[in-house]
Structure 1
Amino acid sequence: MNLTIEEVTAYPAYIPVTLPLGEVRAETALSCVVVEIRTADGVVGHGYTAITDEEVVAAAVREVAAPNLIGLDALDRERIAERLYWLLTPRGQTGYGSHVVSAVDLALWDILGKATGQPCWRLLGGARNEVPLYVTFGFGSLDRDQLAAAASHLKADGVTRFKMVVGHHALARRGHNRDLREHVLEDIERVRVVREAIGAQAELYIDANCSLDPTWARFLADRLAEFDISFFEEPVRDNDVAHMRGLREQTGLPVAAGQNEGQLFRFRDLLTGGAVDVIQPNVVICGGFTAGLKIAGMAQAHNVEIANGGAFPFHNMHLHAGLANGGLVEWHLISVEMCKALYGDLPERSGSMLKLPDTPGLGFTANGDALRAFAQRPTSRGAGKG
């Protein structure tokens, strides 16, 4: 089979999302890029990246990555990853480069699966054919009553693990006459209503999205002790290693981070610095499955759990099903609705579990008409992005 890369196409998309949660409705939008790689024998793979500016990533794929991929063998993933490193991040930069690498790498693994007739999770190790989920539902746009109603709806649907946002861009909003204390005091009450709605037996996770400083992250962690928080994700700005280690040591609250990191050395520093109880490589950002395998290996050597953070379960499920030390996968409700607009044949959640498909490659199909339609839409930014 001739798997020489002949064509690389990037489809940027900015997708409005309406999220139904029982009687609760939330509206937002997310940006992403789908990369399509076509080989000489017609095998096509689709990669994906998100939580970024879609036009910038698409341009980097078209202008920088694509000309350097044409003519290479799609099976040579390490060779391609190394070439892209020196093209896009030659001095260890983080940022847009890792998004490009991730989308390309996932497309190459999709091609490998289709060429061998195997799903990616088996090619990654085949440790299990289903993964445990936690459901991210508690978005900042929901008020307390909506949070309680949404949590109760999900509990009735068999969900046992819940995640909600705290901090909600607090540091970014300091210039809008709202101080961090106001944010944090409201967060305490929001967590209270969710815990009451889901009961004492359910697991509850919180995520600040790097939106707090160390002082207020500690203040919040101390006051949430009574609510039995399973982990505090991205509690401080910049995923600061020293401050996250201090938060773990001072509060005893488990800390998770890594969902938006794009270089191996950043994961190394989080692990060796004692910053995390749970490391969260996100394959649509960290460098795809090729990098995700290396990060999972580092985590296992440090006896640190891995989990999917940063959403997009349909790609991340493969890494966690493939590896013996695979962990929780994030069923982020907004990203799930977003993916439904782009793909068909997506697996369905059953309570807090997700069974992986046996279909070769990633196991779901890209909707070519939808990709082209979204790519042709004018970009329109709104407060709901991300």
Structure 2
Amino acid sequence: MPAEDTTITRVHATPLFIHTRFDLPGYTRDAALALCLVEVETRGGLVGHGITSITEEEVAAAVVNEVAAHQILGEDALAHERIWDKLYWALTPRGQTGYACHGIAAIDLALWDIKGKALGQPVWRLLGAARPAVPTYVTFGFPAMDRDALADAARHWAGLGITRLKMVVGHRALQRRDGTPILEIIREDLARIRAVRDAVGPQVQLYLDANCSLDALHARWLAQAVGELGIGFFEEPIVENDPRQLALLRSQVQVPLAAGQNEGLLHRFRALVEAESVDVLQPNVAIGGGITQCVKVAGLAAAFNQPIANGGAWTHHNMHLHAGLSNGGLVEYHHLAVLVCEEVFGRLPRPDGTGNIALPEAPGLGFSPDAAAVRELAKRPTSHGRSRA
């Protein structure tokens, strides 16, 4: 047992909207992402940190600060299963998914960080220590990049030894932000995918991610059009990860399908499996209920002999899951998300020349936020432009 008193005495979430700068050959651009940082402290002085994202940072922080924190003060930080269940019944008693699940995920990550520090072990070893390094794919291709910039960026990463690359397609197509017809958007996507394939050759595996931005008709059109381009998987091709439509699409195309990064509760993964909707399940510890739930998703996948992979970014939190479990898979090295994380945590491990990332041996998650940097970042406007002053 740890010598420290692991009773939870403080829980606090800080909403952050973090600006950073891409600087790649042929492409330089300012960018930003929202992030909610959660800190949990114990009576014995141990402090753990977790994050969540792909949501409004202020709402996620309010879930933690105004509701969840009050539920777990006085609990043992090592009792992650008890705390998870308590938060489930406090925040999602009727199986809702959404902001509450984001809050649970961030708290759960902080608790695992504390557990590792209390026991003197990195989280991936506590989970089973299946492998000391994880294979990655690099998400490099974003909508603001034109075809030439995409090709240049792909060549850059391939030149560093990266053999797995992912790019975004169908960006906000169903939102029709600028009135562009969906078919026009995905025709351009097809040209962009071909430009990347021509740039890196057949030896690099390409992955696509539509971020739930397409309907079934246009997802099928694009998936069939890229069938001969060697696509590793097509991630979240259909709005709302509709299990029935995903299953139908899977039967109609040869490109493997993946989904799950945005699913908040285990029953959503069960629905994907039961409908035979996807080839790859993608639990994300920073979004879908933390490590505690994602271990169960991995168990569900193992029971059905279905691979898992990390989608939805946050490499350095998700790599612990995939290194710890015997059925761990690919981890996403999302270039923008990593740059944002490094604004908070400082320099983080990067893929080596073989595309693998070595896991840390430091206790817990192996990295901690720079308190001064967080204070400065917290002063900046929110993602909606509101000042925090």
Question: TM-score of the superposition, structure 2-length normalised?
Answer: 0.96
2:243 corresponds in structure 1 to 241
**5+ long unaligned stretches in structure 1:** none
Match of residue 101 from structure 2: 98
SS state of the match for residue 227, structure 1? coil
Q: For the residues of structure 1 that align with 2:5 and 2:15, how far apart are their CA atoms?
A: 28
3-state SS of paired residue (1:25): strand
Contact 1:345–1:364 (Cα < 8 Å) also in 2: no
Q: Tell me the equivalent position of 1:184.
A: 186
Q: Deviations over 1:205-240 (max 9, x none)?
A: 001111111111111111111211111100110101
Classify 1:33/1:82 alpha carbon distance in 2 versus 1 (closer, same or farther; 3 Å).
same
Q: In 1, distance between residues paired with 2:283 and 2:29?
A: 27
Is 1:60 equivalent to 2:63 in the alignment? yes
Q: Give the counterpart of 1:154 among 154, 157, 170.
A: 157
Distance 1:49 1:17 in 2: 18
1:378 is the counterpart of 2:368:
no
Secondary structure at the aligned position of 2:135 is classed as: strand
Q: Which amino acid aligns with 2:311?
A: G
Partner of 2:207: 205
Offset from partner CA, 1:121-141 (integer Å, 9 cap, x none): 000110001000000001001
Residues of 1 paired with 2:66 and 2:213: CA distance?
Answer: 33
Q: Give the Cα–Cα distance (whole angstroms) in 2 for the partners of residues 77 and 380 of structure 1.
A: 31
Match of 1:258 in 2: 260
Q: Which residue of 2 aligns with 1:49?
A: 52
Partner of 1:317: 319
Instruction: Name the residue aligned to 2:370.
Output: 367
Aligned position for 2:145: 142
Residues 129-171 of structure 1, C-alpha deviations (whole Å, 9 max, x = no match): 1000000001001000000110111111111000001101111
> In the alignment, is the contact (CA less than 8 A) between 2:56 and 2:383 conserved in 1?
no
CA contact (8 A) 1:75 1:108 kept: yes
Distance 1:340 1:177 in 2: 36
Whether the 8 Å contact between 2:50 and 2:110 is mirrored in structure 1 is: yes
Kept in 1: contact 2:227–2:254 (CA 8 A): no
Q: Is the 8 A contact 1:5 1:69 kept in 2?
A: yes
- 2:308 alignment counterpart: 306
Q: Which residue matches 2:114?
A: 111
* RMSD, matched Cα: 1.1
Which residue of structure 1 lines up, in the alignment, with residue 329 of structure 2? 327
Correspondence for 1:216: 218
**Cα distance between partner residues in 2 of 1:181 and 1:47:** 40
Q: Name 1:275's counterpart in structure 2.
A: 277
**Structure 1, residues 314-365: CA drift from partner, whole Å, max 9, x if none?**
0000000000000000000000000000003522221311001100000012
Which is further off, 245-254 or 17-26?
A: 17-26
Post-superposition CA distance 1:87-134 (Å, at most 9, x none): 111111110000100000000000000001000000011000100000
Task: Indicate the residue corresponding to 2:10 in structure 1.
Answer: 7
Q: Distance in 1 between matches of 2:347 and 2:32?
A: 22
CA contact (8 A) 1:151 1:197 kept: yes
Which residue does the alignment assign to 1:232? 234
Counterpart of 2:282, as a letter, is: Q
CA shift, 1:380, in A, is 4.1
Give the residue type in structure 1 aligned to 2:91: L
Tell me the distance in 2 between the aligned counterparts of 1:62 and 1:248: 41
Preserved CA contact (<8 Å) 2:19 2:33: yes
> Which of 67, 77, 83 is the aligned partner of 1:80?
83
- 328-337 vs 58-67, which moves further: 58-67
Q: Taking every aligned residue pair, what percent have the same amino acid on both sides?
A: 54
Could you say what secondary structure the match of 2:228 adopts?
A: helix
Give the aligned residue type for 1:13: L
The one of 163, 167, 170 equivalent to 1:167 is 170
Contact 1:26–1:142 (8 Å) recurs in 2 = no
In 2, the alpha carbon distance for the partners of 1:49 and 1:35 equals 8
Q: 1:380 to 1:101 in 2, by over 3 A?
A: closer
Q: Which amino acid aligns with 1:53?
A: E
Match of 1:287 among 266, 277, 289: 289
Moved more, 323-332 or 336-345: 336-345
Shift of 1:247: 1.1
Residues 130, 326 of structure 2: 8 Å contact kept:
yes
Number of equivalent positions: 381
Q: Distance in 1 between matches of 2:333 and 2:383?
A: 26
**Partners of 2:53 and 2:182 in 1: CA distance:** 28
Distance 2:75 2:309 in 1: 32
